Structure 1
Amino acid sequence: MSNAKAVTDASFEEDVLKSDRPVIVDFWAEWCGPCRMVGPILDQIAEEHAESVDVVKLNVDENGETAAKYGITSIPAIYVFKDGEVAKTSVGAKPKAALEKEFADFLG
């Protein structure tokens, strides 16, 4: 099971938009195979970069309001939020090295 915090439509503003550090949001669904591949990679990134970034998961099936607000049509969609704004996006399953390279600016 993931050690990334689960966020919901109700907690998204507090947990993500108002965070004083960058937050990587994994938009995922239970039935999504590629999402299950990316989950453990994001868990590793969360553990290795705990001092500089938070990693959270948002189930798009259970939290359609937030998914719709950010136009999530393909998952896994991984967004980095900084200062309440989308700072970087990545769609699709990618290896750890590729994700770390994409998000290097936020990983300290």
Structure 2
Amino acid sequence: MFLIVSKYFLPKRFAGITIYPFVILKKREYCNDPVILNHERIHLRQQAELLILPFFVWYLFEFCIKLIRHRDPHKAYRAIGFEREAYRNENNMSYLKTRPFWAFLKYRNSIDS
């Protein structure tokens, strides 16, 4: 299910946010953007695999660790394993068809994190 919210609800850099089972988008036209939708669907899969609440605990914990390491919120956000997987595969529209279970684990300790 997609929800459209005010552009003021989400930080400037974000087009959307996923809180299972909802994808919240900043602009209505994003409903037609296959890359944004694929990125958010990857997050839906990640959240489902971790039974939702543990996903958010892990996400916040990893963000805090990356923030200490990078000292920049945007760099910390981009270094989170869940985001790394979503950004690296958002242009591959068949990714979710072949994605292994818990695939995000391979992105959590990459060299550039």
Task: Provide TM-score, normalisation by structure 2.
Answer: 0.34
Task: Provide TM-score, normalisation by structure 1.
Answer: 0.36
Q: Identify, as 1 or 2, the structure richer in helix.
A: 2
Higher-Rg member (1/2): 2
Q: Larger relative contact order (C-alpha < 8 A, sep ≥ 6)?
A: 1
